[in-house]
Chains A and B, each alone.
Chain A
Amino acid sequence: MTATDTTFWDERHRHIRTHIGKWQGGHDVRVRGRWLLRELLQEVSITQLAVFNITGRLIDKPLASWLEKTVFFTSYPDQRIWCNQLGALAGNSQTSPVAAAAAGILAADSRAYGSKVQYQTVLMLSELQEAYAAGAGFAELVARFPLRNGVPSIPGFARPVKIADERLEPMRRFSAELGFVPGPNVNFVEGLAEHLRVHHQADMNAAAYACAFLMDQGFSALEVYRIRTADVLSGVLACYVDLHDQPAQAFLPQTCTDVQYDGVAPRALPRSL
């Protein structure tokens, strides 16, 4: 048998090489070329530190404030929201809060809501922007998407015009208050939303605006996904706490027939088994 060249793995065998960070016991911690205790502790907020850890970018305080405020929109403590239902079930089962938080965050890694939607929305907006810049009109762009209930199914724009997203106006307002001027991506989604309102009775939701804003700030789809990982956390934990000390089986108790069975009718095992 020919020996395999294992140099790549040998170089990493019991040896870590990284630019990310290193605890230097009794002294300080290196974080992407900066000192955590001597420098960053005095200079930055937890959000600035998180974005620095995740992306390597040391963002300024207004952008950190913007990110913090948008978490208000992604962590509603409403027990009907799916990830929060997991928090409530976990609380009523008296799991650890960490298990509840992890379960809720995993649930929100969803194609329908939460962090993955923002990742997909940034990717989609990038493609649409590219086509728009190449001369495609809004009607042509919208035609790329299938209709669902007569409305184009575009990530970030699944909002009937009758029920405006309550988060949009506050988001526009605090963006301006923090000194941000709409960039090309925000202007693009505002234009697309206007087209949808006029022609399709649809509107954008807060995810489209927030993703476009973050694109204008230079973040990639993967960076948005990573920064937004735990956005639902406080809502999940609020529901966890509410149910934790309530009696067992208190969260939306279900009868046997609340789950409708549509499978094969009860039958005997085959004799040959």
Chain B
Amino acid sequence: MSSPTEAATRPDFTTSICLEQPLPGNPYVAERRYISGYNVADLWRNCHYCDGLLLLLTGELPSQPQRRLLEMLLVGLLDPGPRHPAVRAAMLAGVSKSGPEHLLPLGLLTGSGQRGGALEVENAWAFINSHLQNDPAALAALCLAEARPTPGFGSSFGAVEPIWQRLAEDLVAVMPEQPVLNWCRDFCRVLHGQNQGWLLPGLIAAVGLTLGLDARKCLGLWQLAIAPAVMAHGMEQTHKPISSNALLRDDQYDCD
């Protein structure tokens, strides 16, 4: 434990993201707030949301293609569909009258796992990052032959997810010279032969790597990206009667 003098002078946290300048006469209130050196008032008057988001995550405002890439990703992931586990969890909770303030957090918690969730994004980031020097087609063939795990890539219900493949093609077109996206595209071309391809966590990881985000920030970006759908679908269900989501009957439920 620190000495009383050290404790009095040591900061509670250090951050390179946000500076707050206190209001004269009341140091608990900020008169001005800066994100990586930019006054937030200048940002809200002049910037796109994605500019501010990338400023928060990287410390610099993005280039126009970087902003477009992130924006396309976020729009593409606005709604991963009502059957996605995170969205479905929020819908279940909404219809069963859980507190509406809980729907977004519980959806994100349910969708935080290693299968299609936030932790798979982190694993996908590591997978892609560690293999960027390998030939993607050869690696894909090896992974298929040896049934190696390929976090961020695979099949859904035994098939390639067509929506994510189309989004990936459009993302690559935004930054066609970008090596990470091209590597992933070439990796997927081989996977397609076995009904596999881009999965949602792989898309986030590839875009995150392209934008210079580390694995943890990509994980968080994924949660942010699906949050609108989790929230919207969950809230919609709060207005429906609990009976609209009938429980399975006893004859549909076996337990030995």
Residues of A within 8 A of B93 (CB): 82, 86, 106-107, 110
How many interface contacts (CB-CB < 8 Å) are there between A and B? 129
Q: Is A201 an interface residue (CB 8 A)?
A: no
Nearest residue (CB) in B for A87 is B110
Measured CB to CB, the closest approach of chain A to B226, in angstroms, equals: 13
Contact across chains for B83 and A259 when beta carbons are under 8 A apart: yes
Contact across chains for A103 and B110 when beta carbons are under 8 A apart: yes
Partner of B106, one of A4, A80, A106: A106
Query: Which of under 10, 10 to 19, 20 to 34, or 35 or more describes the interface residues of A?
Result: 35 or more
Q: Given A93-B111, A95-B113, are A86 and B82 neighbors across the interface (CB < 8 Å)?
A: no
Contact across chains for B28 and A103 when beta carbons are under 8 A apart: no
Contact across chains for A85 and B92 when beta carbons are under 8 A apart: yes
Partner of B112, one of A80, A96, A111: A96
Residues of B within 8 A of A9 (CB): 28
Contact across chains for A93 and B83 when beta carbons are under 8 A apart: no
Measured CB to CB, the closest approach of chain A to B106, in angstroms, equals: 4
Q: For the complex, give the distance between the alpha carbons of A93 and B156 in Å.
A: 13
Q: For the complex, give the distance between the alpha carbons of A106 and B242 in Å.
A: 17
Q: Mark A81-113, 1 if CB is under 8 A from B, else 0.
A: 111011001101111100110110011111111
Residues of A within 8 A of B27 (CB): 6
In the complex, identify which listed stretch (A131-139, A164-172, A216-224, A247-255) lies at the interface while the others stay far away.
Answer: A247-255
Q: Is B99 an interface residue (CB 8 A)?
A: yes
Measured CB to CB, the closest approach of chain A to B253, in angstroms, equals: 6
Q: Given A6-B27, A14-B8, A80-B247, are A103 and B106 neighbors across the interface (CB < 8 Å)?
A: yes
Nearest residue (CB) in A for B107 is A103
Partner of A103, one of B89, B95, B156: B89
Q: Is A116 an interface residue (CB 8 A)?
A: yes
Contact across chains for B96 and A107 when beta carbons are under 8 A apart: yes
Q: For the complex, give the distance between the alpha carbons of A4 and B89 in Å.
A: 46
Q: Is B48 an interface residue (CB 8 A)?
A: no
Q: Is B115 an interface residue (CB 8 A)?
A: yes
Q: Can you spell out 20 A-B residue pairs with CB atoms less than 8 angstroms apart?
A: A1-B24, A2-B25, A3-B26, A14-B7, A14-B8, A85-B89, A86-B92, A89-B85, A89-B89, A93-B110, A93-B112, A94-B114, A96-B112, A102-B105, A106-B99, A106-B102, A106-B106, A112-B242, A116-B99, A254-B83
